[in-house]
Structure 1
Amino acid sequence: MKMLTNIVLLFLASLLAMCSSAEKSQQASHNKSYPHVELSKELVRTAKEQQDASEIMDKLAAVSAEELSAELDTDEAKKAFWINVYNGSVQHILMKQPELFEDRGAFFKKDQVRIAGEIISLDKIEHGIIRGSKIKWLLGLVSDPFADKYERTFRTDSADGRIHFALNCGAKSCPYIAIYNAPYMNEQLDEIARQFLNRTSTYEPDEEKVFVTSLFSWFRGDFGGKSGIRDFLRKYDVIPEEADPSLSFQDYDWTLELGNYTDLSAGKTAAK
């Protein structure tokens, strides 16, 4: 009996130590300085307020890859920085040249965003970096074995389906734009996912069918396939826990529509 008591006490002590370590790690993340994430937030803010961002873009272009890589030392920091850069760049570019959106394929493939000394495309930011080197047209099922050094330096460790509800490519059906902050990234991605899915999904219990965004279909591998999609819908209260409806993917409206922003409560003070 005494041995069992000692084992339980050791287990509890170990658990408390783990919790303390996690809290310290989280606190360290909240206290860490992210100067270039702050610049990426300014890129979005200036787009929202239709202000010039040339000085911000110059600073993002001039930072060394080594310095930026050292700052973006977690997937949360990477996602915050690169989602802000993607959204802010799309808005700034298309506000000046909306005609570029007429050939969307060329627009996203074009090398036009300079970060850390390299001019890269929006496709590279989304699929190569934020999605962890996923091949664009293969449903999130296949990774790119030929990713270059720049992409390998900055890419996330794995694809996170929630990012698809945070990236705005300029189309009417795109998710709304928020400003992301590294220490609150998980909470913010949960919040934006809930916002988007509850706004765009329709559950029909009588038909056992749920109508959802085409993003689920195009990037199904990032969500774990159809069963993973249903898990997402359950997590964000689109369908009940016990439901197993068929999925109906809605048409995507590619009409150019800029200026769609939203606020997030998670990390609200830090996001300003």
Structure 2
Amino acid sequence: MKNYYTTLSAKILSVAQSNGDTTSLRRQLYFTRADKLEKNLNTDDLKKTFWINIYYAYFLIMKKENIDLNSRYNLKRIRIAHTEISLNDIEFGILKKSTMRLGFSYFVNPFHSKFVKKMSIQEMDYRIHFVIQSITLKKTIFNYYDSELLNEQLEETMKLFISQKLQQAPLFQ
């Protein structure tokens, strides 16, 4: 049986990819109760699937709204469960387990909201980095992420991203 929230996230992403109006779908997310969302996203795979799709959808939505790249990540424009969060909250707070970037290092961020901490994955998955980079560099290979295929999708995204980077790397002599 499909999870309602991962299906909703894929639907929002699909409409965003086709430049459609996502307002009514996003309204559903806003009026969802946080405890219901937490209860239904009860595994890391469900959380990763939902939040990757939401990140991707909102990245496209903000791009369409011509929000400049520098402020796109910090703007608290994503409204879920009566809470406003940013792309950085999703990436570093939820998908990368409440990390905070300080220079070239990452630390646990004590300033994330309760909502972000509740929604955060339990186990860090290094493949998330490659998915986020693929989205921001517009080199995604999947229309959406599916919780039943998630491990294969993450693995394939990572391998493709690395192989593309290796092809672009200058040869050392």
TM-score after normalising by structure 2:
0.88
AA aligned to 1:143 is V
Q: Would the alpha carbon gap of residues 108 and 80 (structure 1) be closer, same or farther in structure 2, given more than 3 Å must change?
A: same
Tell me by how many angstroms 1:136 deviates: 2.6
Q: 1:90 — aligned with what?
A: 59
Whether 1:176 aligns to 2:145 is no
2:68 paired residue among 84, 101, 117? 101
Q: Distance in 2 between matches of 1:48 and 1:203?
A: 27
Tell me by how many angstroms 1:200 deviates: 2.4
Tell me by how many angstroms 1:155 deviates: 0.3
Q: Distance in 1 between matches of 2:168 and 2:29?
A: 43
Whether 1:46 aligns to 2:10 is no
Residue aligned with 1:43, SS: helix
Q: Would the alpha carbon gap of residues 78 and 138 (structure 1) be closer, same or farther in structure 2, given more than 3 Å must change?
A: farther
Q: Distance in 1 between matches of 2:172 and 2:133?
A: 32
Asked which structure has the greater CA Rg, the reply is 1
Gaps of 5+ in 1: 1-30, 209-272
Q: Distance in 2 between matches of 1:57 and 1:107?
A: 18
Q: 2:163 — aligned with what?
A: 198
Residue aligned with 1:136, SS: strand
Q: Would the alpha carbon gap of residues 203 and 57 (structure 1) be closer, same or farther in structure 2, given more than 3 Å must change?
A: closer
1:158 paired residue among 103, 116, 123? 123
Residue aligned with 1:142, SS: strand
Whether 1:68 aligns to 2:33 is no
Q: Distance in 1 between matches of 2:149 and 2:88?
A: 25
1:126-183 C-alpha deviation (Å, 9 max, x unpaired): 1111100000335453111343311111001133221122125875x35426311112
Q: 1:187 — aligned with what?
A: 152
1:229-256 C-alpha deviation (Å, 9 max, x unpaired): xxxxxxxxxxxxxxxxxxxxxxxxxxxx
Q: Distance in 1 between matches of 2:101 and 2:123?
A: 15
Q: Distance in 2 between matches of 1:194 and 1:168?
A: 13
Kindly indicate whether structure 1 or structure 2 has the higher relative contact order, using CA contacts under 8 Å at least 6 residues apart: 2
Q: Would the alpha carbon gap of residues 140 and 129 (structure 1) be closer, same or farther in structure 2, given more than 3 Å must change?
A: farther
User: What count of residue pairs does the alignment treat as equivalent?
Assistant: 172
Q: Distance in 2 between matches of 1:87 and 1:159?
A: 19
State which drifts further: 129-138 or 194-203: 194-203
Q: Distance in 1 between matches of 2:97 and 2:105?
A: 10
Alignment of 1:205-216 (within 5 A): 207=172
Contact 2:6 2:50 in 1 (8 A): yes
Q: Would the alpha carbon gap of residues 52 and 63 (structure 1) be closer, same or farther in structure 2, given more than 3 Å must change?
A: same
Gaps of 5+ in 2: none
Contact 1:91 1:170 in 2 (8 A): no
Contact 1:134 1:140 in 2 (8 A): no
Residue aligned with 2:102, SS: coil
AA aligned to 1:145 is P
Q: Distance in 2 between matches of 1:155 and 1:177?
A: 25
Residue aligned with 2:68, SS: helix
Aligned-residue identity in percent: 26
AA aligned to 1:101 is D
Residue aligned with 1:51, SS: coil
